[in-house]
Chains A and B, each alone.
Chain A
Amino acid sequence: MHFNFNKVKKLLSFLLFFCTITAYAQINSYHVFFKDKKGVTFNPYNYFDVKAIERRENAGIPLSHPTDFPLNEQYIKAIKENCTNFEGESRWLNVVFIKADDQQIETISQFPFVKNISTPNRELRTLAGSKDEYIEPSYDSFILEQQLSTLEAKEFKNANLKGKGIRIAIFDAGFPNVDVHPAFNHLRANNQIIDTYDFVKNKKHVYDYSSHGTSVLSCIAGIYEGKQIGLATEAEFLLARTERSLLEPFSEEKDWLLAVEWADKNGAQIINSSLGYTKDRYFTRDMNGETSLVAQAARIAARKGILVVNAAGNSGTDKWKIIGTPADVDSVLSVGGINPYSGYHINFSSYGPNTKKQMKPNVSALGHVVAANKTNISETYGTSFASPLVAGFAACAWQSNKTLTNMQLFDELQKSSNLYPYYDYAHGFGIPKASYFTKTGSKETDENIFAITDKEGIISIVVDSALITFESEISNLNEAVEQAYMQNLLYTHISDSTGFIKEYNVIKISEVKPLQYFRSDYTKGDTIRFHINGITKEIKI
């Protein structure tokens, strides 16, 4: 082995070369937050759409709030003079989005009006993810029927509740062929698409890129060959492209933030957002409804009277497992997925609660649906599609009672759901039911289908023998599905005195006494709840 000075020189040169490369000053994206909005003026009647003013007035929200004020122009001017590229601004968060090099950002950080500077998220993904995919060129009419019947769509249809007069903003990765697709003929004919904007490319045209948004819109309002796909076929729409396609992997939360302010300004009453951030930027501990920029924006949107509906996420089978953000926000209606064949949680649907132990998801809808693609309709998976089903449902429900505020509607949607008042962190309160709002067609439920017994320290549930599912031969898929639907499910959870669930189960009822609990296993103040076919009973420890 030899060692000489020349080798050391070469070695050091090699290291120095790569150090120089990595240390080279780069132009990066930054979020620059301002301390105040000193000296600005604001006229809500010049800024807001009539619908936005109407929404505020209905909800008793002041028309003039500091979060709506414009940013201080002098501050913006100073930033523009010291950055490479000015990419936008948010009134709500009093922030500007810029690109700057190290020297420029150092100068900006010295400005007295700058509160703080952060680097943005560089990855935003649709909840389409790997689990949302078109699976067959044709579709199963059973799925299409289920995605509507589970929500009792006929009840809304019979009451002529189709979301008329409700404005829904959809944030997605593109809406290709919505301008020509037959599933949206009625929207185009009646000018129901009020406005569009591509926040990624800064242009009006949104009818290209990922077809995820096309599918999502169809789950709210699509009608294909006379078949209804979503419920709110008469609602108005604002279409925003906030996410990028696979060929443009890097995007930022700012697009979502800019879109939510645009939606507010243009009078959106409901926002459907089928996107979420998870491990790319955050730890599970950050899913507290406060940390992420989109969570902060979603909270403000809710405070301004908008019902924000967000997909829970598709991480149920991943290591991440829990909901993403902004589905973690307490005032965002987070929507989980249901398996159309089994009638309960679809395996990939993300679980709650958020890290503040608040219940998530709030409600559920089918996570396996029939939706429009670029040319016709086909089956697709994902909580991305459960969310718009509920957004469409919410529009019809809101039409039935326009005096409701967004958060009152939020509560009503939860109360209308099939498991309510039972809840868990896989289904929330379950699937919303239209009959709750139309006050028609609700089934009589028999309180006596099960009873709770409490003897000698053992808590048992005893069910009516008619609920027991018996095995039988099956010869085809239809019979299998029919039998799966005939099975009665027992939902059960144990919660502490604050209502926080410690554990929960879904059990197929195959015995008269399907479940027993030992009192000694639980602490005083705990509650055990059971739910079967619309009946919820509980016992306190």
Chain B
Amino acid sequence: MKKIALLSLLAFTINFSNAQEILLDEQVYIDTLPVENGQNGKKFSHMLLKYGVTLGENLAGSNINFVKSYEFGIGYQFKRKLTSFYDMGYTLLYNFNSYSLRQDSLKLLPNQTLHDKENIMTNAIQLQWFNRINIGRRGNMIKTYVDLGLYGGYNLARTHSYKNENFVTNTTSTDVINKGVKYIDNIEYGALVRIGYKRFSLYGKYRASKLIKDSFGYNDVPKFQAGLELGIF
């Protein structure tokens, strides 16, 4: 394969031999410019992806299935270097949260009706503010760090959905999606921690606000989330 590729390259080269062919062209001033930007530069920003699961304590009537509950996010992170070991930054995120409600006799949220699948979901815009402590010496790169921060967001969409299979014919199913449900709060805030190495980080999040409003008489869903973030840089 290598030989075929090489042969093609050389054939291409030779076919254009009548044109003046510059094989190497280096402008040295570009290579010798002081580099002020970069991962460990004054300012650095990048895209990120995150995926996490829900953790914590199930409260009576609002039990969730932890295995099937998750969050996914895509965002843009900006950080500013303040000292050699301390950065401050923020992340603007689109965050999708899905809590799979456990279907058992104890279920109260949002009612006692049992379904084959039932979820409450939010689509949120969130802003994270974080303080980054960089650990160890490093060159122009993001290396080992711990982030401590706060986040807040607005739930653009608050959805309740369920699905029932038709066991008689085994061919059709009933899907119901309720949008803008009132018992899900539209404001969310909390604290977060990240432990990262290069482009990977593990995060933990605690939601201080209630996702399910007290006034409706339901218990809240679990408040902890943890997962993996991937910086795209």
Contact = CB atoms under 8 A, between A and B. Distances in A.
B107 interface: no
Q: How large is the interface on A (under 10, 10 to 19, 20 to 34, 35 or more residues)?
A: 35 or more
Interface in B1-59: 2-3, 6-7, 10-11, 13-29, 31-32, 34-35, 38, 40
Contacts of B106: none
A505 B29 CA distance: 14
7 contacts: A11-B208, A18-B204, A122-B137, A284-B34, A345-B24, A351-B31, A504-B24
Interface stretch (B73-81, B117-125, B140-148, B172-180): B140-148
Interface string A416-434: 0000000011100000000
A471 B148 contact: no
A501 B29 CA distance: 9
B187 interface: yes
B209 A7 contact: yes
Contacts of B190: 11
Contacts of A351: 26, 31
A322 interface: yes
B96 to A, nearest CB: 21
**Most B-side CB within 10 Å, residue of A10, A283, A501, A514:** A283
A474 to B, nearest CB: 6
Contacts of A286: 139
Contact of A476 (B7, B29, B34): B7
A11 B190 CA distance: 7
A119 B11 CA distance: 53
Nearest to B40: A283
B182 interface: no
Contacts of B6: 341, 477, 480
**Most A-side CB within 10 Å, residue of B20, B24, B35:** B24
A448 interface: no
B22 A507 contact: yes
A506 interface: yes
Contact of A477 (B3, B13, B24): B3
B165 interface: no
A471 B137 contact: no
Nearest to B19: A510
A15 B208 contact: no
Contacts of B32: 353, 355, 357
Contacts of B108: none
B183 interface: no
Interface of B: 2-3, 6-7, 10-11, 13-29, 31-32, 34-35, 38, 40, 133, 136-141, 143, 146, 148, 185, 187, 190-191, 193, 204, 206, 208-210, 213-214
A471 B7 contact: no
Contact of A471 (B17, B24, B38): B17
B141 A506 contact: no
B interface, over-half SS: mixed
Contacts of A280: 138-139, 141, 143
B7 A2 contact: no
A273 B185 CA distance: 62
Contact of A7 (B15, B29, B40, B208): B208
Given A425-B28, A474-B10, A510-B18, 17 more contacts: A2-B209, A14-B191, A119-B136, A121-B137, A122-B137, A278-B139, A279-B139, A280-B138, A280-B143, A286-B139, A321-B31, A480-B7, A503-B27, A505-B22, A505-B25, A507-B20, A515-B20
Interface stretch (A61-69, A177-185, A481-489): A481-489
A307 to B, nearest CB: 27
A425 B26 contact: yes
B14 A472 contact: yes
B41 to A, nearest CB: 9
Contacts of B141: 279-280
A524 interface: no
A246 interface: no
Interface string A256-274: 0000000000000000000
Q: Which 6 A-B pairs have the closest CB atoms?
A: A480-B10, A506-B24, A282-B139, A508-B21, A471-B17, A18-B193
A489 B20 CA distance: 12
Nearest to B3: A477
Contacts of A225: none
A223 B82 CA distance: 56
Nearest to B223: A10
A18 B168 CA distance: 53
B17 A508 contact: yes
B182 to A, nearest CB: 13
Nearest to A278: B139
A2 B23 contact: no
